[in-house]
């Protein structure tokens, strides 16, 4: 894994989720919070068991990264946490043929991140830090409760008789939130690396990369694919097919994620975070909302939008 090298990054002391939360995530989260008692119920009933179950699985069959175990990767984690103003969670490397990374934090006691070996093989160090930053975004935004609910609903749909019928309404709502939350965590990846092309490159490699092909891929051409994707909506049938396909997904399509993060990198909100630091500009919470209204995916006016748990990154 090559080391790209990087200049010193801006430390975002005082950063909180509202400084970078995507507007779609904000809206979807508010909708879920209107379900009374959901948060408390999941934390109370599943938190202790989930933490112990995954701790046992990780400590027994994965490699715990630390100062004396894969210290280069540990350094990427520590630096990303310093930038995002977050306590350092456990990071495990797991042997697995499917490129993936995920996080779990239910009660805040034993948060952890897992990265598969096959994903590490695809990436350079800066890109790996983007993946770590994305997962830290889930921790920073306290996404664990709703990610757990999403996976429980998915399990119920596949295992229970008539599960797809019984859970359809709930699953549709929670999966829409999951897709929105991914945009927020892509922003966390950008804040951690402070290089939009690095984040977009990860998405490209996850779409069609391999250790052999990755050096040959053209990032600008990949981002340009988003325009072709947008053009499908010019017909009613195309728009309907896109909606049906999107409803099946846990993540927004990669080309839109790559373009969205490129646009936010040029947005005054992002620039203000780096230049003014969160503690020096606590009014950013309101300014972020105003700027983000003009930077939602699928915007037809680019001039106004300048450029865990168990779910695939």
Residue 221 CB-density burial (10 A; 0-12 exposed, 13-18 middle, 19+ buried): exposed
pTM attached to this predicted model: 0.80
Q: What is the mean pLDDT of the chain?
A: 78
- pLDDT the model gives residue 185: 95
State how far the Cα of 302 lies from the Cα of 230, in Å rounded to an integer.
13
Condensed to tens digits (0 to 9), the pLDDT of residues 11-54 reads: 999 999 999 998 888 877 777 666 666 666 566 656 566 667 77
Contact present, 257 and 182 (Cβ < 8 Å) = yes
1 pLDDT above the threshold of 60: no
Contact present, 102 and 308 (Cβ < 8 Å) = yes
Condensed to tens digits (0 to 9), the pLDDT of residues 175-185 reads: 677 788 899 99
Condensed to tens digits (0 to 9), the pLDDT of residues 45-84 reads: 565 666 677 788 889 999 999 999 999 999 999 999 999 9
Q: Is 135 a catalytic residue?
A: yes
Domain ranges of the chain: 17-304
- pLDDT the model gives residue 304: 35
Q: Is the CA virtual torsion 143, 290, 10, 124 positive or negative?
A: positive
Contact present, 169 and 27 (Cβ < 8 Å) = no
pLDDT-based confidence at residue 166 (cuts at 50, 70, 90): very low
- Which among 51, 125, 127, 135 is annotated as catalytic? 135
Mean pLDDT of 193-221: 94
State how far the Cα of 102 lies from the Cα of 114, in Å rounded to an integer.
5
């Amino acid at each position: 894994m090559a080391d790209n090298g990087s200049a010193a990054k801006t430390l975002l002391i005082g950063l909180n989720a509202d400084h970078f939360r995507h507007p779609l995530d904000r809206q979807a989260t508010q909708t879920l919070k209107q379900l009374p008692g959901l948060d408390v119920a999941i934390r109370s009933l599943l938190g202790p068991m989930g933490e112990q179950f995954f701790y046992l699985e990780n400590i027994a069959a994965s490699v715990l990264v630390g100062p004396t175990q894969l210290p280069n990767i540990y350094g990427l984690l520590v630096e990303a946490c310093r930038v995002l103003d977050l306590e350092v969670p456990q990071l495990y490397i797991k042997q697995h043929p499917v490129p993936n990374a995920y996080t779990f934090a239910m009660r805040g006691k034993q948060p952890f991140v897992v990265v598969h070996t096959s994903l590490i093989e695809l990436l350079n160090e800066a890109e790996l830090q983007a993946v770590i930053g994305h997962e830290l975004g889930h921790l920073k935004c306290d996404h664990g409760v709703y990610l757990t609910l999403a996976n429980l609903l998915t399990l119920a749909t596949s295992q229970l008789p008539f599960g797809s019928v019984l859970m359809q309404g709930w699953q549709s709502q929670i999966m829409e939130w999951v897709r929105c939350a991914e945009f927020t965590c892509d922003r966390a990846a950008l804040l951690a690396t402070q290089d939009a092309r690095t984040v977009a490159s990860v998405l490209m490699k996850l779409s069609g990369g391999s250790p052999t092909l990755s050096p040959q891929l053209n990032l600008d051409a990949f981002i340009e694919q988003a325009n072709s994707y947008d053009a499908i909506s010019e017909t009613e049938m195309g728009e309907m097919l896109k909606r049906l396909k999107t409803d099946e997904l846990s993540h927004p399509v990669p080309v839109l994620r790559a373009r969205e993060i490129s646009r936010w990198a040029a947005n005054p909100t992002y620039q203000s975070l780096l230049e003014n630091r969160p503690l020096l500009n606590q009014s950013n919470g309101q300014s972020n909302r105003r700027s983000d209204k003009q930077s939602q995916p699928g915007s037809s006016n680019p001039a106004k939008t300048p450029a865990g748990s168990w779910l695939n990154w």
